[in-house]
């Protein structure tokens, strides 16, 4: 008898199973790549939002510092009867209750057209004062000096 050697052939059922296994692997890899891309985009959005919130917090703190500087200047001008010339006010991080310190620069001058009853106050606030991402705000105010007789109670 003659021996017939049969070539190995895949049954249609076995071949379909292998094709499905390969296509499932490709599908899973595509899904993992898509999920990774979505997570990367969400991470970038989160980091950008965190930076925006920090910048807003620095801006608000600088606004409060410039307002405090104006109030401080008005009090000093009235207490010194107009002799106050300004100062550089260093505020520590502990005093602000945060991580960064601030600096408020107050400059007081007599307007040229005034006889002495008013002072022009320029205030500049830097927060944080030594950082590259600092916020700098400035305001100007003209203050009338209170006389000693107006501050006394009748």
What domain range includes position 127?
A: 13-148
pLDDT tens digit sequence for 16-50 = 555 677 788 899 999 999 999 999 999 999 999 99
Does residue 91 contact residue 65 with C-beta atoms inside 8 Å? yes
Q: Is residue 53 part of a domain?
A: yes
d(CA 105, CA 132): 18
Q: Is residue 41 part of a domain?
A: yes
Q: Is residue 154 part of a domain?
A: no
- Please report which confidence band the pLDDT of residue 115 belongs to, taking 50, 70 and 90 as the band edges: low
Q: Is residue 138 part of a domain?
A: yes
- Residue 53's pLDDT is 95
Q: Is residue 60 part of a domain?
A: yes
Q: Is residue 67 part of a domain?
A: yes
* Higher local confidence (pLDDT), 29 or 82: 29
Among 90, 94, 93, residue whose Cα is nearest residue 105: 90
Q: In Å, what is the CA distance from 128 to each residue of 68, 69, 96, 106? A: 15, 15, 11, 17
**Mean pLDDT over residues 36-65, rounded?**
95
Q: Is residue 99 part of a domain?
A: yes
Question: In the predicted model, what is the mean pLDDT of the chain?
Answer: 85
Which spans in the chain are helix H?
Answer: 12-79, 93-96, 148-151
pLDDT tens digit sequence for 116-152 = 688 899 999 999 987 788 999 999 999 888 765 544 4
> How many domains is the chain built from?
1
pLDDT at 153 exceeding the cut of 50: no
Q: Is residue 110 part of a domain?
A: yes
d(CA 106, CA 140): 10
pLDDT at 4 exceeding the cut of 70: no
């Amino acid at each position: 008898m003659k021996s017939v050697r049969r070539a190995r052939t895949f049954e249609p059922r076995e071949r379909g199973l292998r094709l499905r296994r390969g296509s499932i692997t490709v599908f899973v890899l595509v899904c993992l790549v898509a999920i990774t891309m979505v997570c990367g985009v969400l991470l970038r959005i989160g980091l950008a939002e965190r930076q925006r919130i920090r910048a807003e917090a620095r801006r608000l703190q600088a606004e409060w510092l410039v307002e405090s500087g104006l109030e401080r200047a008005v009090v000093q001008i009235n207490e010194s009867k107009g002799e106050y010339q300004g100062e550089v006010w260093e505020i520590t991080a502990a005093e602000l209750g945060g991580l960064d310190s601030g600096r408020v620069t107050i400059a007081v001058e007599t307007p040229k057209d005034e006889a002495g009853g008013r002072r022009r106050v320029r205030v500049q606030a830097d927060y944080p004062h030594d950082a590259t991402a600092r916020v700098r705000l400035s305001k100007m105010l003209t203050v009338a000096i209170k006389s000693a007789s107006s501050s006394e109670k009748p």
